[in-house]
Copies of this chain bind each other. A is one copy, B any other.
Amino acid sequence: MKEVVAGIDIGGTNIVFGLVDRDGEILADGVLTTSDYPEFPEYVAAQVKGIKDLLAINSGLKLISIGIGAPNANYYKGTIELAPNLSWKGIIPLGAAISELSRVPVTVTNDANAAAVGEMIFGGAKNMKDFIVLTLGTGLGSGIVVNRQIVYGYTGFAGEIGHLTVVPGGRICGCGKQGHLETYASATGLVRTVSELLGTMRNDTPLRDIAPAKLSSKMVANYAQQNDPVALRAIEYTAELLGLGIINSIAFSSPEAIFLFGGLAQAGEMLLEPVRHYVDKNIMPIFRGTCKIIPSAIPENTAAVLGAAALAWNERS
């Protein structure tokens, strides 16, 4: 029997899961639609059945543990707590419920921490002791690794680089406070920057013909590639604030690398090059050139399942 773990990624739209071996190969996978399970116990039953079905049709595999990436997850307690994008309200005993029905150990953390463990076990950080993963999507999530351990802190919620204050008194954040990094350096932050710039700049640009609610970070990146002046300036400003957040993160934990992942990171070198330039110019001299700023080595389409599976494998090492 070959030992495998199950990796589960719970999102607001889909729940993806898969059986993963020690080398990071996904041997079988499945998907549930989150809205099909408004009641938590029904989800637990369907999830464990989904995993057992995968085991049934793939003979010779032995499930030894389960890792789960989920929003607002508490690693210490194995719970999901007050997640705004899920219908399961209050404090949900996710780890305990899945473990009881599946009869294997379950580890739970948030998706950005799972991405960091994925990078450490299967990706670009296999040989690194200290590194950070930033997930640039709708918001900005982060997983901080120090001495090959995720930083959870006293509360279990450490690693909120998206909520570093980079512009005191600045943009209103989803958390209710102001000037946080994720209000600038994220897909939605980039779109907000375009709106601001359409006010401050006078240039003629097709961006004025698009309702902000219809605008995506990908569209802004495409206009920037066509040398649209507002889109170019928006990318540059995003890079500056992301650079500032990165500089502060390096002063704190001095990582060997910062990996960028997620929708906005797909802008690639157009975003990374000005970020590196800003960091080089503004970082304190002792840290200059010490930290690589690079894309994640985990493919976007398998990252969620691999990160969650890496979490399970990591607990056994």
Task: Please give the residue numbers on chain A whose beta carbons come within 8 Å of chain B beta carbons, in ascending order.
Answer: 128-130, 144, 146-147, 149, 151-161, 163-168, 173, 175-177, 180, 244, 247-249, 251-256, 282-287, 290-291
Contact B155 A248 (CB under 8 A): no
Residues of B within 8 A of A282 (CB): 165, 177
Q: Please measure, in the bound complex, the distance between the C-alpha atom of A144 and the C-alpha atom of B128, giving whole angstroms.
A: 20
Contact B158 A254 (CB under 8 A): yes
Contact A158 B253 (CB under 8 A): yes
Contact A161 B244 (CB under 8 A): no
Q: Please measure, in the bound complex, the distance between the C-alpha atom of A286 and the C-alpha atom of B83, giving whole angstroms.
A: 12
Q: Please measure, in the bound complex, the distance between the C-alpha atom of A168 and the C-alpha atom of B254, giving whole angstroms.
A: 20
Residue from B147, B153, B177 within 8 A of A255 (CB atoms): B153
Interface of A is mostly: loop
Instruction: Name the residue of chain B whose CB is nearest to the CB of A131.
Output: B154
The minimal Cβ–Cβ distance linking A124 to chain B, given in whole angstroms, is 14
Residues of B within 8 A of A175 (CB): 284-286
Contact B286 A157 (CB under 8 A): yes
Contact B130 A176 (CB under 8 A): no
Q: Please measure, in the bound complex, the distance between the C-alpha atom of A251 and the C-alpha atom of B252, giving whole angstroms.
A: 11
> A152-B254, A161-B252, A175-B286 known; 20 other A-B pairs, CB under 8 Å?
A144-B253, A146-B153, A151-B252, A153-B254, A154-B254, A154-B291, A155-B254, A155-B286, A156-B254, A157-B287, A158-B252, A159-B253, A160-B251, A160-B286, A166-B168, A167-B168, A177-B283, A248-B248, A252-B252, A252-B253
Instruction: Name the residue of chain B whose CB is nearest to the CB of A247.
Output: B165
Report if A284-B167 is in contact (Cβ < 8 Å); known contacts: A154-B290, A255-B154.
no
Contact A251 B164 (CB under 8 A): yes
Contact B244 A165 (CB under 8 A): yes
Report if A168-B244 is in contact (Cβ < 8 Å); known contacts: A147-B147, A286-B155.
yes
Q: Please measure, in the bound complex, the distance between the C-alpha atom of A283 and the C-alpha atom of B179, giving whole angstroms.
A: 12
Residue from B153, B180, B285, B286 within 8 A of A253 (CB atoms): B153
Residues of B within 8 A of A152 (CB): 254
Report if A129-B149 is in contact (Cβ < 8 Å); known contacts: A163-B284, A251-B164, A286-B175.
no
The minimal Cβ–Cβ distance linking A266 to chain B, given in whole angstroms, is 26
Residues of B within 8 A of A286 (CB): 155, 157, 160, 175
Q: Please measure, in the bound complex, the distance between the C-alpha atom of A110 and the C-alpha atom of B107, giving whole angstroms.
A: 37
Residues of B within 8 A of A154 (CB): 128-130, 254-256, 290-291
The minimal Cβ–Cβ distance linking A86 to chain B, given in whole angstroms, is 16
The minimal Cβ–Cβ distance linking A302 to chain B, given in whole angstroms, is 27
The 7 closest A-B pairs by CB, nearest first: A153-B254, A158-B254, A154-B256, A160-B251, A175-B284, A163-B251, A155-B254
Residues of B within 8 A of A129 (CB): 154
